[in-house]
Structure 1
Amino acid sequence: MIAEQTLTEQYLRVRAHSETICRGLETEDYVVQPIADVSPPKWHLGHTTWFWETFLLTPNLPGYRIFHEDFSYVFNSYYETVGKRVLRTNRGNLSRPTVAGVYAYRAYVDEHMSRFLDTATFSDDLLALIDIGLNHEQQHQELLITDIKYILGHNPLLPAVDMPFVEYPALVIAPPVSIESGIYTIGFQHHGRENGAFCFDNELNAHKVYLNDTQLSGNLVTSGEYCAFIEAGGYQNFRHWLSDGWAWVNTNGVQAPLYWHKIEGKWWYYTFDGLKPVDPDAPVSHVCQYETDAYARWKGQRLPTEFEWEACTQSGGINWGTRWEWTNSAYLPYPGFVTAEGAVGEYNGKFMSGQLVLRGASVATPEGHSRPTYRNFFQPDKQWQFTGIRLANP
């Protein structure tokens, strides 16, 4: 967060950005849910508001009256501690509350949160919860963007919509980054608000790992480089794929990254500016871990581990932040990881099974919501985030 701002200003700035993301939407766009992984924009706006109401206002603001008694059932995501909820797959089936009703809910909660933040006395625990709330909303801002793209990118009209960033920036050319074999400290250090430092619990605890000599590419794989894999029959040759990845390719008939279309012999992709020719010099995006691993094998290289990736940022750094970068590391707890008590303890730890770690950030990541120790995580078949490829030498 920006140190010069008050808590109220920080809160209102983060909240405003969620609505800025949605400024180009029509009312009908807010309610669509094409697949289970994609939540309607209306739900994201309501869920982030519910988080503030449920975890901050209700237990801490004397006399606070909840906006609507049924909204917890509608907007709870996965917090078993809080109670029952609408199934994730059914979020797009709800015409009520209306979009206008969700914005009224946001205004109501923002008014009370502003009053609370202006007048409350804050314990360390309460400040930590506010930090989680701000970062939680920023996480949903990126999900808002990627979910909106999935909704519009699967509309046959492929409509354009205004978004506050450049999706496919020119690639910054950088030299490879090497680390020597040895012991490295991995994980977030200097945790605590007194240091102006926030991290999620899955970045703790800092610990030592031994790494061999490693070299990571200074550049992300470009769309042009990935095209070569496609044209070489990469999606038709089982030798490049892990068993689960090959099954995924064949079950789903995958032939290219998400949003790519071959028209009259040329590759195009859907962007927020509409359908555009694939830019061969831009970093490839919307590839799942199966695809990134197959591409690496085709090149005779591999994906880095999350520990190699973090160590390379310590050694002088790699150029990161354009795409979330898949690693070969399973999403598992660090040594000494402790699940917090209550609902907040459900935030990260319960998902440490069957998922892989991504490092860095993307063009859709909000400002101030990235750091070298950040551990994003998804199942290996997910394509809809702004995910890319960085290679490591064997």
Structure 2
Amino acid sequence: MTVEETKLQILGELELARSRTERLINSLSDTQLDAPYHPGVNPPLWEMGHSAFFYEVFVFKLLDGTVSYNPAMDDLWDSFHVQHRDRWRRDLFPGREDTLQYFNTVYDRVAERIRRYELTDQALYLYRYAIFHQNMHIESLIWCRQTVGYPAPPDFQGDRPAPGEGVAGDVEVPAGRWVMGMPDASEAFAAEDFAFDAEKPRFEVELPGFVISRLLVTNREFQAFVDDSGYQRPELWSFGGRQWLASAAEHPVYWRCHEGQWQARLFDRWLPLNPDAPVTHVSYWEAEAWCRWAGRRLPTEYEWEVAALGNRPGEVFQRYPWGNEAPDGSRVDMNGRSMAWNPVFDYPAGESPFGCRQMLGSVWEWTSDQFLPYDGFKVDIYPFMSTLQFGDHKVTRGGSCATTSSLIRGTYRQAYLPQRSDVFTGFRTCALR
């Protein structure tokens, strides 16, 4: 790819991130933008302003030493200077019109810089970093709509683009030596190999054979646990799970039993529970208890990546279960299109080398591991991308239905506290050893 082609690609990614963010904001009323505080998620206008501020810090200040658009607002847009509760204070922040003006001014400046200036390796890296960070916050904006009960996002189509046949059961992954993660900055790699620091450096690992489910755990399977009084049986829950359970409902957070039938809330609508869709919005503790009830276990994150990608030493490394072609809607439920509402056996074209489906998109999959750095970890340009989560968060893998296509890849690691259920989390299981 030539320099000009790369610039056009980056400009396209920037414009897509801008337009998706604007649509997520402008499709809400002023009343919805002024909603009261909700713990765990950020208000939409703060998400927009914070994303623009990130470009100011990691593009303009690092590359040009430029003073920010409004230095008086820097601490308020910076997530490490303003607490979650204060982000919902409308007296601290500008309204829709002023935030949009700030947002678009910054984006226009970034686009102009890309067009006019030399595309150095550092500049390309920082553009990608800021755009990918923006896409992480697009996912956060979608969580917010689900948490608060806003209407579905503009990209939601609610269709079934890639039906599959009703496969089931487990697959066996043989013992062997496997390649994990992405190359670090000291290695030569292509622009499309961009990764966050927690995915690096690449290494090899020896694993015993294991047996993993082809499919995600479904609503039907999880309902059987609920109907079997799973939430009332302390022997199924670990100590941490029992502590969480003391303040939780006795079913997944967005379920309800209405007139004798289970329903699930999708944004602002209560719909009949789709029994074949993946169970969604469950905490690590719920996944762990279900496994104990079913006589199964969660995979380790190494097992998960091997089952998803199957990369072996000496072979061409593949970023996705199907190879290295960019993901699309025939392979992955992503970009806020179908919102994990389709059967777990759909998307057969996205199947992994071992026959596992929907390992990318649909739901972030809980693993049994704590979120810790790989050996040889180096802090990236943004020192808090991963380091604040090490030790007390659990690893999830695969992305979700709300994840942007440019972020979906088999090496991507995300960290969530085990009690989180507001994000699009689900799980698949392994047979006990």
Q: Partner residue of 1:155?
A: none
Distance 1:300 1:359 in 2: 22
Q: Partner residue of 1:324?
A: 364
**Structure-2 change in CA distance of 1:210 and 1:31 (3 Å):** farther
Distance 1:226 1:174 in 2: 18
**Structure-2 change in CA distance of 1:102 and 1:375 (3 Å):** same
Q: Partner residue of 2:175?
A: 181
Preserved CA contact (<8 Å) 2:47 2:141: yes
Q: Partner residue of 2:77?
A: 75
Distance 2:25 2:194 in 1: 27
Residue deviations 1:222-247, cap 9 Å, x none?
11111110000000001111111012
Aligned length: 378
Residue deviations 1:215-274, cap 9 Å, x none?
111111111111110000000001111111012112x14211121112222211111361
Q: Partner residue of 1:37?
A: 40
**Structure-2 change in CA distance of 1:3 and 1:257 (3 Å):** farther
Shift of 1:55: 1.9
Q: Partner residue of 1:164?
A: 155
Query: Aligned AA for 2:200?
Result: L
Q: Partner residue of 2:229?
A: 233
Matched, 1:308 2:311: no
Shift of 1:66: 2.8
Q: Partner residue of 2:343?
A: none
Query: Aligned AA for 1:24?
Result: S
Q: Partner residue of 2:52?
A: 49
Q: Partner residue of 2:22?
A: 19
Distance 1:188 1:59 in 2: 25
Preserved CA contact (<8 Å) 1:286 1:385: yes
SS in 1 for 2:367: strand
Distance 2:133 2:250 in 1: 34
Distance 2:418 2:157 in 1: 26
Shift of 1:366: 0.9
Matched, 1:244 2:284: no
Residue deviations 1:111-131, cap 9 Å, x none?
211211111123222221111
SS in 2 for 1:94: coil
Preserved CA contact (<8 Å) 2:180 2:305: yes
Shift of 1:21: 2.7
Distance 1:331 1:167 in 2: 33
**Structure-2 change in CA distance of 1:65 and 1:188 (3 Å):** closer
Query: Aligned AA for 1:47?
Result: H
Shift of 1:195: 4.7
Query: Aligned AA for 2:402?
Result: A
Query: Aligned AA for 2:78?
Result: N
Q: CA RMSD, aligned part only?
A: 2.3
Aligned counterparts, 1:17-166, within 5 A: 17-32=20-35, 34-61=37-64, 64=66, 66-78=68-80, 85-95=81-91, 96-152=93-149, 160-165=151-156
Distance 2:95 2:401 in 1: 30
SS in 2 for 1:313: helix
Query: Aligned AA for 1:376?
Result: Q
Query: Aligned AA for 2:151?
Result: A
Greater displacement, 284-293 / 52-61: 52-61
Preserved CA contact (<8 Å) 2:181 2:200: yes
SS in 1 for 2:256: strand
Q: Partner residue of 2:389?
A: 351
Distance 1:200 1:392 in 2: 28
Matched, 1:363 2:401: yes
Shift of 1:162: 4.0
SS in 1 for 2:430: coil
SS in 2 for 1:70: helix
**Structure-2 change in CA distance of 1:3 and 1:177 (3 Å):** farther
Preserved CA contact (<8 Å) 1:3 1:196: no
Q: Partner residue of 1:266?
A: 261
SS in 2 for 1:38: coil
Query: Aligned AA for 1:240?
Result: L
Shift of 1:177: 2.9
Please point out which of 215, 219, 235 is paired with 1:219.
215
Shift of 1:353: 1.8
Query: Aligned AA for 1:117?
Result: I
Preserved CA contact (<8 Å) 2:145 2:153: no
Distance 2:9 2:101 in 1: 24
Distance 2:36 2:177 in 1: 46
Q: Partner residue of 1:210?
A: 206
Please point out which of 351, 368, 376 is paired with 1:336.
376
Query: Aligned AA for 1:261?
Result: R
Shift of 1:29: 1.9
Preserved CA contact (<8 Å) 2:147 2:267: no
Distance 2:269 2:188 in 1: 43
Q: Partner residue of 1:382?
A: 420
Q: TM-score, normalised by structure 1?
A: 0.89
Residue segments in structure 2 that go unaligned for 5+ positions in a row: 311-352
Q: TM-score, normalised by structure 2?
A: 0.82
Preserved CA contact (<8 Å) 1:33 1:151: no
Query: Aligned AA for 1:201?
Result: D
Greater displacement, 136-145 / 344-353: 344-353
Query: Aligned AA for 2:390?
Result: M
Distance 1:177 1:230 in 2: 27
Residue segments in structure 1 that go unaligned for 5+ positions in a row: 79-84, 153-158
Greater displacement, 275-284 / 285-294: 275-284
Q: Partner residue of 1:7?
A: 10
Distance 1:103 1:216 in 2: 47
Greater displacement, 318-327 / 286-295: 318-327
Shift of 1:61: 4.3
Residue deviations 1:8-41, cap 9 Å, x none?
2321122211122334211222243543311101
